[in-house]
Chain A
């Protein structure tokens, strides 16, 4: 069997555009000031527990950035954190739900803006779990020894499509309101290398798993079609754009009725990790779980506690309440903040968990905090040593 290298996360960055927006500042940016929208918004915000978030929109709701710019800002922060340049990268894996343009791929646009040298690209599309799909690809290439250094970014700029102009005259039920008052903008990035950081701890990637259950579940979160079954001749690309808009195809929607099923399926996937021995219940120190709203936090926490009796609330980390739900960027934004604020110590293990409602996907990653390589005793470099005499 061939020998592979090990992949380490050695740099972390995030970017959240503009000042934090509290719950009272949302309407100025996204609109929806009528009494009904107001009532729904309050109810949803009460449930999701998000107290502040960031939008790449000014106080009048006009865009202030491109999604690719958010991605580049997070990547730049991660590169700076690691102390390397874009020209040191040989691969860039980008995850987003929707890039700025339809064509070309998001990663091409991010690379074009980031600069650096020639590199392999991957645009992972999907929703929240595309973040770890991108990470998995980069980690795999590092392990194979194909590349020494890669960067991964999850980036979202959902806010512009959540503004009132999209909703005017369109029948929008809970399936669109739920996301409208939940999603916000941001980007998070990591640097992946085959060697640990030379002089500070790194996160070794033990494994990444990504599984879809789309074979037994209907579509849950979607845009671009009417209802949950795409039909020949009836997607947004088939009908007139005006008709597509009038039928509300450009609204992001989520079938909120199946979210409990999603949580249950996610917990079953977690149980499988334990049963397979991929998670050692006796030695799991931190859990960073992406969830869309606090409503699922307790459900997930209690579910994990069944198999992890030692899991205490202080080992459980999320910054949903203060950074918002940024989709595919969320897990990296949470990881960056947990890392930066010193939650992890060498030897500890971390589980990243990202359920994706799109059509029931689940991604997990297991990390171990490793200390920097031991400093060698001071000695002259080999070239300076003569032959023994």
Chain B
């Protein structure tokens, strides 16, 4: 395969917390390069994306987004009192996200999709893997590594979604009312990433946890891209 200039070698355990920011930046750079090669996002960038592509993307995302708050809530319930700050943050985050899929559903209906079909849809291969991994991880005691999942998912919302929204609007002539979900995440996830970064770099994270965070971010980044690659499958 061709190696993109921004593709970096996999992070190996042992980097420690001192360079956590650099390690996560490398995960992000790899994710960014992979996203550029995802067919639907490439079509979006090239301006050849169709309304049906957008509909399919929403359909596929919804099946995983609906799990977003539950896995965070499950993680919250597994933080003991020594990790009270993380428990609080997770509870707050779960609450903030638990209606997100409704926004996506309104967008889906506003472009002519059937709510009944959307709600009876099944996860694609990538979503199955992503959701399964996140719930599994959240079941562990004190699953602080999930901050890496947050880093990826909230980062996508804060840094990518609004750009996708305006590009879909530009190419397909969509109204704001048809791209709420992606538009909204620019602002909401920007706040979330701010809160998360405060935790990541608060001094609460030890070297072992930093390794877990980076590893989780790597897995989630790969599975998120898989979810975008495996539309409808």
Contacts and interface: CB of A to CB of B under 8 A. Distances in A.
Determine chain A's interface SS by DSSP, over half rule. loop
Contacts, number: 62
A3 B112 contact: no
B204 interface: no
Interface in B22-71: 37, 39-40, 42-43, 48, 50-51, 53, 56
Contacts of B176: 2-4, 145
A111 B198 CA distance: 55
B1 A387 contact: yes
A144 interface: yes
- Count chain B CB atoms within 10 A of each CB in A145, A148, A385, A389 and give the residue with the most: A145
Contacts of B177: 144-146
A291 interface: no
A386 to B, nearest CB: 9
B229 A148 contact: no
B175 A145 contact: yes
Contact of A383 (B110, B166, B231): B231
A6 interface: yes
Interface string B90-118: 00000000000000000000111000000
A259 B127 CA distance: 67
Contacts of A388: 1-2, 37
Interface in B152-184: 166, 169, 172-178
A382 B111 contact: no
Interface residues of A, number: 22
A194 B174 contact: yes
B112 A149 contact: yes
A147 B43 CA distance: 25
B104 to A, nearest CB: 14
B110 A146 contact: yes
A304 to B, nearest CB: 32
B39 A383 contact: yes
Contacts of B48: 376
B-side interface size class: 20 to 34
A100 interface: no
A380 to B, nearest CB: 9
A222 interface: no
A195 interface: yes
Interface in A1-22: 2-6
Nearest to A1: B176
Contact of B110 (A3, A145, A195, A389): A145
B194 to A, nearest CB: 26
Nearest to A377: B48
A143 interface: yes
Contacts of A194: 111, 173-175, 178
Contacts of B169: 3
B233 interface: yes
A336 to B, nearest CB: 24
Given A387-B1, A388-B37, A382 B175 contact: no
Interface of A: 2-6, 88, 143-149, 194-195, 376, 382-383, 385, 387-389
Interface of B: 1-2, 37, 39-40, 42-43, 48, 50-51, 53, 56, 110-112, 166, 169, 172-178, 229-233
28 contacts: A2-B175, A3-B169, A3-B176, A5-B173, A6-B173, A144-B175, A145-B110, A145-B175, A145-B177, A146-B177, A148-B110, A194-B111, A194-B173, A194-B178, A195-B51, A195-B172, A376-B48, A382-B39, A382-B40, A382-B43, A383-B39, A383-B231, A383-B232, A383-B233, A385-B39, A387-B229, A388-B1, A388-B37
